[in-house]
A and B are shown apart, each in its own frame.
Chain A
Amino acid sequence: DIQMTQSPSSVSASVGDRVTITCRASQDISTWLAWYQQKPGKAPKLLIYAASSLQSGVPSRFSGSRSGTDFSLTISSLQPEDFATYYCQQGNSFPLTFGGGTKVEIK
């Protein structure tokens, strides 16, 4: 199985801050990486697919990038509604696997 390692596991930030979350794949997954946002009691919401493609309707302050097997999700200016847990997911090979999550908390 491909292991997806997210860091940090949690981050405290203020409204307006730039926040970057990292996800490292245990082997090459090309660009088959998605990012999700999950709020308490809700289903995950797709933000980014194919490492850097913004899902329709998602604000442009969210962006994704890739460097080898390292992937990043950046929120350029954190908004109150962005406080949530974020997960990465690889879609390169079976079984599909998720990272452990990064909780973005209010500082």
Chain B
Amino acid sequence: QLQLQESGSGLVKPSQTLSLTCAVSGGSISSGGYSWSWIRQPPGKGLEWIGYIYHSGSTYYNPSLKSRVTISVDRSKNQFSLKLSSVTAADTAVYYCARGTVKRPPDAFDIWGQGTMVTVSS
């Protein structure tokens, strides 16, 4: 059964770069034509889609974050990563990785990681 697991720094200083990785187990990131997304949720608030990547490396980012976001894939390690630069307190959130359906754009996210809390603070 496919599982996703986020990892990375839980505390990031303002103006620095947030870095997270999502490890995919129980299946290959390169099979099935799925997309792989990052989604975040500030404490007590709703969900915001950050962007996605396909195993081919093609990406699409939310325009609200596009200037600061990079999503990459490492097929050899079966994982994908998020970098968010110039962070502020507004970037404090639980960050989830999720698998999107094969449709472009994905119409749903059927498998999610457990989420990792990232706090931006000096």
Give complex CA distance A93, B47 in Å.
17
* Complex: chain A residue closest to B113, CB-CB: A43
Chain A proximity of B105: nearest CB distance (Å): 6
Number of interface residues of A (CB under 8 A): 25
- The 7 listed contacts between A and B (C-beta, < 8 Å) are A33-B107, A34-B108, A49-B110, A91-B101, A91-B107, A94-B105, A101-B46
Instruction: Tell me the complex Cα distance, A89–B63, Å.
Output: 17
The DSSP consensus for interface residues of chain A is loop
Contact with A along B46-84 (1 / 0, CB 8 A): 111100000000001011100000000000000000000
- Across the interface, B105 reaches (CB within 8 A) one of A33, A46, A93, A100, namely A93
Residues of A contacting B63 in the complex (Cβ-Cβ under 8 angstroms): 95
Interface residues of A in 53-107 (CB under 8 A from B): 55, 87, 89, 91-101
Question: For the complex, is B8 an interface residue (Cβ under 8 Å from A)?
Answer: no
Q: Is A16 in contact with chain B by the CB < 8 A criterion?
A: no
Q: Can you name the residue of chain B whose Cβ is closest to the Cβ of A35? A: B108
The contact of A98 among B49, B106, B107, by CB within 8 Å, is B49
How many chain B residues touch A (Cβ–Cβ < 8 Å)? 23
Minimum Cβ distance to chain B for residue A60 (Å): 18
Assess the A95–B103 pair: CB atoms within 8 A: no
Our pick among B46, B64, B96, B109 for the contact of A95 (Cβ within 8 Å) is B64
Say yes or no: is A44 at the interface (Cβ < 8 Å to chain B). Answer: yes
| A interface, CB within 8 angstroms of B | 32-34, 36, 42-46, 49-50, 55, 87, 89, 91-101
Distance (whole angstroms) from the CB of A57 to the closest CB of chain B: 11
- Given A46-B108, A93-B105, the answer on whether A87 and B47 have CB atoms closer than 8 Å is yes
- How far is it, in angstroms, between the C-alpha of A51 and the C-alpha of B64 when the chains are bound? 26
